[in-house]
Structures are given as structure tokens and as C-alpha cells.
Structure 1
Amino acid sequence: MNDADRELDQPKPFIEMKIISIYAVGMENSVMLVAGLGEHSVAEEVWRATAGSTLVRHDLSRLADGIVHRWIDGLLTELRLEHGCVSCTMRLDLIPLLRTLPGPVVVHLDPALEPEAVCLALEGEPVRVDAVVTVVDRATWLADATGHDSLAGRGLSAAPGDRRTVSQLVVGQAEFADALVLTGPSGDDRIEAVLDRLNPSAPRQEVAHLHVPTLLAAIDRDARRGEVDDLFSPLLRGRPPLEAAHGVHLTHFTARRPFHPARLHRTLVALAQGVVRIRGRVWLASRHDTALWLEAAGRAMRMADAGPWLTTAGTSPDTDARHADLTVGQELHPGDREQELVIIAHRSSSEVITSALREALITDEEAALAGELRFADPFPGAHEKQS
């Protein structure tokens, strides 16, 4: 098939059909995911550069009505779902397609989709993720990454009840990528500095000079390629610079005593201005048995149950592996209880952030009264298990 035959701007027939599930057993297929907020042609460039590939794209803008538009190599199909949700689109259409389409598949994700969630849905399927490529628009990315706009407010919700923010979306898309393509005008050095710390291993190319084979060949041999991190995995991937650049800095905070819940909540609210990303494990004085997972992007924050600390967990292959990862210094402490947070910010300083977090830890006097004190819980969502 030559390039003229593969042009997407040719008129395509419209086909309306009820979605059906097709389950065929075959060899493992390969897939590349292309993500990013906004219109771009990068997915088509990846498709054209990948011999024998198929291009799949979904439009979820009418998902609330139970309708999904799907293109396969430019051929449009309208899918009618009994339940208008992303999981149904994945389970009833995308996953069966990836099982059955011949050759490699390039999936141009709907702008509202995060590649990590898609890869999580693909776990256990006969599908190999060869690369995740995310497009970053410098004209809007930093404002989106540090803002508080909701996806619903932008008309980008993936489903009714989608409460995510634009910051959660664009930060997650860039963070999970194996490679990045930059669009829009250059000039704001903070964006490059943030990406250096958010995803230091991902090679980057300008869209105007995009050469897909070179970009894909530059992906690190240890890139995640769709692998979703365990909540107890190391927080620092690659080698992010620890020194500040253009006002952007990374703080790696650790401590071996619990946070006072109310003081931590006040500290996080104060830090939200100018923060791009916070992620990591939290030990609260009100919940000694459970590790909590904290994740924030821009001004949006969520805290969820990450599972038991080793000192309160039973024996299992997972906890045995975590025991093996403990350092000699850690063996002096109770299990694996500790604070570990990575914060990327473009305001304040690493010293100010570290000091604020240390002041949120319980004091020696509070520790001595730990059995008598009762702490209010300002994190109600932390009782929900993080998947």
C-alpha cells in the first residue's frame, strides 16, 4: 500500500453498527499508543512509518449518549454501547480489536484518555505495548498542568461523573510516555525543565522535525512500555536532575515518623500553588496500619489506600519482595513505614517545601501521647483502595 492509498483526508463511508464482541485466540500482537490533549497528526506519522500497521482512533465525545465513533485506517464506524463508559469501550471494542487485527496497531487515544489506564486494562491480554508516545503542546501545557480546570468544564469528560482535572490528564499523559513529541512555540524554558524532572528518560523531538524511526529507536531499553508501577515501586524513574533550573525544582522528601493529618492537609493546600506533580507514599498518625498513596497534579489532589505496611501485612510473594528491598538502615525501623514523596514545582524552593513537610510531622510530644491522641481525618477518600 503506497502513501497515496493511506491518506486520511479521502472521503470514507459511514457505517452504523451495533458493537459486538469478537474473541479470537492468536499470537501476541504489538501496539503503540499515541496520547495528548489537542489536535495533532503524530499518530498518523507513526502509522505511516510502521510497516503493515493499522491505525485505530476512538472519539468519546458522545460517550454519554452511548455512542463512540471509531476509525480503522480512516474507515468510520459508529458504535452504540448499552452503557456509555470508557471501560465498555475498552472491553467490548478496543481489546477485541487488538486481539484480532493483523500486524502492529497504532492507537490514537481520545484526548481525554490517559495511557496508563489503557495499559492497565490491557494487562493479561495477548498484547505487547511497544511504545507510548505523548504529544505536548507548549502553548498550553504548563498552564494546564498547574491549573484547576475540570475536564467537564472544558467539554472533555470521558464519561458522566468524570471528575478529573485537565492537570491530572496532561501530567499523567506526559509522565507515562516512553517518548515525547513537542508542538507549539518554544520559549518557555520551564516546560523543558519540568519534563526533565517528570520524565527524564523519554526522548523528545519537535513535531516540525519528527522522524518516527529515530524517535522510537531512542527509547530507553528500560522504558516502561506500558508497564504500570506498583504503588510500592521506586518513585524516581530515570535520573531526574536534582538541581533547580529556570525556577523548576524536584524535591525528594523522606521521613521516619508519621504526619499529623490536619497539618499535612494544610501544608498540601498551601503547596498546591505552583506545584506540577506530587506523588508518593504517606504514613498518617491516624492510620498506622495502612500506607496511603498521594497523587497531585496542579491543584487537584487525591489520597487513596495503597495497602498495608509490611509490619501489618501477612506473608505473600509481594510482601516478601518488599522485605528484600529494605535497606540495612531501614531494618532498624518498624517494617517499611515511612514518608516518601516526590514533588515537582516551579515556585517556592525545595528548601521551603521540605521545611513545610517536616513541620507537618508529629512532634516528639505528640509521639509520646500517640496512644491517647485522636486525630480528625481530613482525607475521606483515603479509605478507598487505589487500583
Structure 2
Amino acid sequence: MAARVVLVAGFTHHDVADELWRASPESSLVRHDLSSLAEGVVRRWADGRLTVLELAHGCVSCTLRLDLVPLLEGLDGRVIVQLDPMLEPEAVCFALSETEVEIEAVVTVVDTATWLDDATSADSLADRGMRAAEGDERMVAQVVVGQTEFADALVLTGPGDPVLTAVLDRLSPDAPRQQLSELDVHALLAAIPADARRGEIDDGFGSLLYGRPSLEPAHGVSVVHFTDRRPFHPMRLHNCIDVLLDGVVRVRGRVWVASQPDAALWLESAGGGLRVGNLGPWEGDRDQELVVITRSADAAEIAAALRSALVTDEELGLITELDFADPFADWHEEEMEL
């Protein structure tokens, strides 16, 4: 029988994994400490036993491939895995996607005192002394937003304020929430919807409005859902990037630029960090879609900036003859081991 895994993520130290373990006495508890990963050392606790691993190349992908994945493949029953604060659950689920391990749920702990500031921060993990390896250039915002966005359920360290609530309503709308002080783990897991993600990896070509987020503004928080059937002018899109960063919590989406007609580009940002990647060829119509969750930015200004970056009717008529300068030709998400 394959393991059924509950991943517990969060950018703050907490006892949620212990609560889940105590509520399920037959389960196993696994913890990872990656604070010394840059030196090639990983500490892992499994059911109270400490194992110190020395890796020839200290990186997150090596930790997953050489330790966590084989460990979970050798277990059965429910396993509670407390992830190190620098780990994003999506990366773990991707590593487990080719195994028989079942992801029962992803539970993320949200520190209500710091989450909003972290989610819009321009700090890198290196700035906080937390990067996993020499080449780890991830932003704090990328980690905290990714941990929350991918969650099936949320545990809040406190009541939070209306702005945080409005952001969570739009970032992870279907995830049930409980406060840490009132945590009932059985009720929390039972409240996860039947159609929750549960570790499933999205290929980027489906709808990007996960769950049923409200598109109405609340407490200064808005959702911009941008779609169009014509491509972006690459330079004009590049020039409006700053509008997608200031006062914005999250941007995710696939875009079509006129200079790369066959490529579905992936644009993603959190806080002050932006990544551009390539999803591969379009699967049918070039149905580009961007979802922007703002904290304080003007949603109408963002929508107008994106609209103005599209090619004009005249440019569209000459699209096969025009030679576009393309800042996205060499700007892509770097392949690096974290």
C-alpha cells in the first residue's frame, strides 16, 4: 500500500504537523531542516529519529530526489511531512508525481502578522539568509505566495485583517481555513472540497481562475482577469511590466507575443520578482490569459496597460512582414538547481 501524504508548508515555524500527527496516531511524522543545505547537509527527523545526510551537491532537487522521494516510496499509511520553510509544496508534488505516493492534502500555515508584507516584499531568500544553495535566487514573495496558492487548506496564526482575508479569498478561494488557536485537524481535512488540487500539477493551459474567486474589489484588493485573442507587441508588453509589480500580490498567465507566434510564454510574478518561461507550443487556439491579484494597485490601470500593449489592427495586418524587437527572446526562467 502506497503512502498517503499530508504536506505541511509555511514560512514560519509552527506545530501544525505535530497536531496532525497527534490526531492520527497511526501516522508517521517526517521533518526536514535545510538550514545547512548550502554546505551539503540535510537533517531529517522521521518518527523521532534524526538522520544527518551529506549530499555531494547541496540543493533542493537533490534533497527531494535522493532523500524525501525514496523515503516516502518506502512507507505506507498516512505520513505527515513538515516541509522546511524554504520549500514550496508544488516542487515536492512535482517530484512525487511519477511515484505511487498519494498526496492527501497540502496544508499551509499563514503567519497573519507578516504574510502580506512578505507577499509584496522585494527581498530575496538570500537577503533573509535563507537561500537553499549558491544559485538560489528566489524571492521571499515567490515562496510565501506559492505555499499559499497551492494549499488545499490554510491554518492562520491569528485572525488577520480584512485586507489579508480579501487576498486569501482570491488567491486560494476554496481552501478551508482555521485559526491555529482553534485548530481541529479532523474538521479541517474533512472540509477540503472533493475537487481540491491535492498536489496535482497544472500544465498552464487550463483556466487560471482556480476555485471561484470573487472578481469584485474588496478592501483595496482586486482581481484583473485579462484575456484576448490578439498577440502582445513584445516591446510594449516589456515596457508595462512595472505596472504588474507595484502593489501586486500575484500575476500568473500564458501570453502570446507577436515575435514568437508558436510559443506559449508563461509569465509569473510575486512581490518584486518576475519570471518568464516557455510552456511549449500552443495547444490549439492562442488563448492567452493573465490573472493579476492586487493589494493596492489600480486594477483599471493594469487592465488598460495590458490592453495598450496588444498589437494594433495595422500591426496585425502586417504581422508576417514586421521585424519585432523581442526582449523576451533571451529573457526566460533560468534553468537552475535549487
TM-score by length of 2: 0.95
Alignment match of 2:215 (pick from 236, 242, 258): 242
1:381 Cα deviation after fit: 3.0
1:24 aligns to what? Answer: none
Aligned residue in 1 for 2:238: 265
Cα deviation 1:166-189 (Å, max 9, x = unaligned): 000000000000000001463x21
The answer to whether the Cα contact below 8 Å between 1:249 and 1:346 also exists between their aligned partners in 2 is: yes
Distance in 2, matches of 1:164 and 1:220, equals 31
Deviations 1:342-375 (CA, angstroms, capped at 9, x unpaired): 1100223332221111001011122222223222
Whether the 8 Å contact between 1:304 and 1:385 is mirrored in structure 2 is no
Contact 2:31 2:84 in 1 (8 A): yes
Give the partner amino acid of 2:327.
P
Q: Which has the higher contact order (CA 8 A, sep 6+)?
A: 2
Cα distance in 2 for partners of 1:278, 1:63 equals: 30
Equivalent residues of 1:139, 1:185 under 8 A apart: no
Say whether the 8 Å CA contact 2:4–2:76 is kept in structure 1.
no
State the aligned residue count: 335
Partner of 1:136: 110
Pairing of 1:190-209 with structure 2 (within 5 A): 190-209=163-182
Cα-Cα RMSD: 1.6
1:361-380 alignment to 2 at 5 Å? 361-379=310-328, 380=330
Q: Which runs of 5+ in 1 are unaligned?
A: 1-26, 311-334
Cα pair 1:175 1:198 within 8 Å, conserved: yes
CA drift at 1:251: 1.1
Q: Deviations over 1:325-355 (max 9, x none)?
A: xxxxxxxxxx411321111002233322211
Name the structure 2 match of 1:351: 300
Distance 2:83 2:334 in 1: 28
- 1:144 is paired with a residue whose SS is helix
Shift of the alpha carbon at 1:115? 0.2
* Structure 1 residue 54 corresponds to structure 2 residue 28: yes
Alignment of 1:79-228 (within 5 A): 79-184=53-158, 186=160, 188-228=161-201
SS at match of 1:254: strand
Residue aligning to 1:72: 46
- 2:254 corresponds in structure 1 to 281
| Deviation digits for residues 63-102 of structure 1 (CA, Å, limit 9, x no counterpart) | 1111101111232221111221212211221112112234
Which SS does the other structure have where 2:256 is aligned? strand
Q: In the TM superposition, what are the counterparts of 1:16-31 in structure 2 within 5 Å?
A: 27-31=1-5
- For residues 285 and 76 of structure 2, the distance between their equivalents in structure 1, rounded to whole angstroms, comes to 46
| TM-score normalised by structure 1 residue count | 0.84
In 2, Cα distance between equivalents of 1:309 and 1:101: 39
Name 2:266's counterpart in structure 1: 293
In structure 2, what is the Cα distance between the partners aligned to 1:295 and 1:264? 14
Q: Gaps (5+ residues) in structure 2?
A: none
State the partner residue of 1:322. none
How far the C-alpha of 1:151 sits from its partner, in A, is 0.5
Distance of aligned partners of 1:337 and 1:98 in 2 relative to their CA distance in 1, 3 Å threshold: same
Query: Which AA in structure 1 matches 2:30?
Result: V
Q: What amino acid maps onto 1:361 in structure 2?
A: L
Does the 8 Å contact 2:234/2:258 carry over to 1? yes
In the alignment, residue 257 of structure 2 is paired with which amino acid? Answer: L
1:307 and 1:385 in contact (8 A); partners too? no
Query: Hey, what does 1:306 align to over in structure 2?
Result: 279
Provide the rounded CA distance (Å) in 2 between the counterparts of 1:205 and 1:353: 33
Per-residue Cα deviation, 1:270-325 (whole angstroms, up to 9, x for no partner) = 23101111111100011001110111111211111111123xxxxxxxxxxxxxxx
Evaluate the alpha carbon distance shift between residue 385 and residue 58 of structure 1 in structure 2; reply closer, same or farther with a 3 A threshold: closer
Asked whether 1:342 is paired with 2:291, we answer yes
